[in-house]
């Protein structure tokens, strides 16, 4: 299990995180993908590939994806 997965799992366990449906729908629309795909990625049930990561960074307006990766 990677460090990012452990951190995500720990945060999710502590917060009982369930993304709001409006957020999942909005992200799915912006990313032009299925709501189930967005939800599974947010819940840590599915990994995203590098191209998806760049798409998410663009939609979420992260300026520097490399900097984001290095911060994890």
pLDDT tens-digit map of 42-60: 888 899 999 999 999 999 8
Domain ranges in the chain are: 3-70
Task: Judge whether 48 and 37 are in contact, CB under 8 Å.
Answer: no
Output the CATH code of domain 3-70. 1.10.260
Of the pLDDT bands very low, low, confident and very high (cuts 50, 70, 90), residue 17 is low
pLDDT at residue 71, as a whole number: 85
For 1-72, list the strands marked E by DSSP: none
Exposed, middle or buried by CB within 10 Å (0-12, 13-18, 19+), for 3? Answer: exposed
């Amino acid at each position: 299990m990677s460090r990012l997965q452990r951190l995500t799992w720990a945060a999710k366990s502590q917060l009982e995180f369930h993304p709001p449906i409006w957020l999942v729908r909005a992200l799915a629309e912006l990313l032009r993908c299925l709501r189930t795909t967005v939800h599974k990625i947010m819940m840590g049930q599915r990994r995203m590939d590098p191209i998806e990561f760049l798409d998410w960074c663009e939609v979420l307006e992260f300026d520097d994806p490399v900097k984001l990766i290095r911060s994890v």
